[in-house]
Amino acid sequence: MNQKVLIIGGGLTGLFHAYAENKKGNFVTIWEKSNQLGGLVSTKKVNEGLVELAANGILFTKNLKILLDDINLIPLSPNRESKRRLIWDGKKCQSIIFFALVLVFKFRSIFIRKISSKPGQNLYFFFEEYFGEWVTKFILEPAIGGIYGATLSDLSPKIVFSNWDFSGKKSIFQNIRISLKSKKGTISFQNGMGELVEKLEEHLKNKIHIEYNKSINHIDQIPKESGKIFFCIPLEEIKRILSPWLPLDIRPTTHSVTTITRFSKDRTTEKKAFGILFPRNTNISAFGMLQNSDIFAYRSNNNLNSETWIFPHVKKKPESEWLRFMEDDRKTIYPNSKEAENSYIKIWENTFPVYNNHLYDFNLFLDQFEKDHSQKNFSIMFNGNYRRGIGLSAILDRALS
């Protein structure tokens, strides 16, 4: 029997749910608070090339392949050179392979020792327990912290690795093998990640109902006859809506990130690479730098080099100051750095969840809330980048599960 489905939020998460529910034959309505769909994920076309305003790629999974086939969108595989990853050691860029060899000496910790996580333990102390201080600081801190835009001490192992078994039955290697089983690397699209949004919108436009400039402040505003309700809105909005039920000791937080996409005639790295990770105890302000034109084709025009610098955002600063930080970092790595052709700044204020133990507890609260408010013909579900780990492919998998 076909059901009524109401999706709150028309970002990529909402579009994933709309696709999944429409495919089941359900009657889908989206409430979107702005006048356009897509949310955070979009691509800006400029004279110099493409500027990704959020994610620059998505993990290629079985579910994503099915979706792309349905919407007639061809994936763009990364360039071969992008397999090279670099870490800044304070003086020069080292291949991550060099650092990976160090992990070989941690054979027992990776392949044999079964893992568990102590209550309230953060990711820094978890890694330190299994790998030691040096590996944690100089390999895992930049690798994981760069992805999440946070220090390891701000992260929880149970939310970052939400699909791992911490019961003392599996090793790190066994957990990694299970996690990567259905993933086949990162892909994007010729016109950037915004093309995924555009194609999904085109695929759904005559199949679902969309109401723009519509938002809610309380769950009671949702018609009970809506059937299935999917909340696909940012964490801060979810907290506001659930405030009457949310315990005072469960307060997940968000943080801000600034990204700068820089186009120039020269390049920061001598050889082509995916990018550079920066440990926190070095002389660099950024968390990481992506070599966009090395990763995917069609990212720059006129043979320009495109790179995106990612900065943790502690407090508000003028754009000129962010640009100065980037240029200082670049000159530290590459003293002969030339003037940029152009740079594009995007500041995300309180947008990204902090993946700490408060967020883990918040997810447990959401699990129970969904269970308590689901009846035979009415159910509520929450999905987004705050829901057990990061990544668009994980959001898609949850929408289709």
Give the burial string for 134-162 (b: 16+ CB within 10 Å, else e). Answer: ebbbbbbbbbbbbbbbbbbebbbbbbbbb
Question: Tokens at residue 371, please?
Answer: 């269970």
Cα distance between residue 323 and residue 262, in whole Å: 10
Note the pLDDT of residue 279: 83
Q: Is the dihedral of CA 307, 310, 311, 317 positive or negative?
A: positive
Q: Which amino acid is present at 149?
A: G
Alpha-carbon radius of gyration of the chain: 22
Q: What are the tens digits of pLDDT across the range 284-309?
A: 999 899 999 999 999 999 999 999 99
H/E stretch holding 204: helix 194-204
Q: What is the mean pLDDT of residues 89-110?
A: 72
Residue 186: pLDDT band (50, 70, 90) is very high
With contact defined as beta carbons under 8 Å apart, do 57 and 186 qualify?
yes
pTM over 0.85: yes
With contact defined as beta carbons under 8 Å apart, do 275 and 131 qualify?
no
Query: Average pLDDT, whole number, for the chain?
Result: 90
Higher pLDDT, 145 or 251: 251
pLDDT at 99 over 60: no
Q: What is the mean pLDDT of residues 379-391?
A: 88
Note the pLDDT of residue 10: 95
With contact defined as beta carbons under 8 Å apart, do 291 and 274 qualify?
yes
Question: Tokens at residue 289, please?
Answer: 């730098």
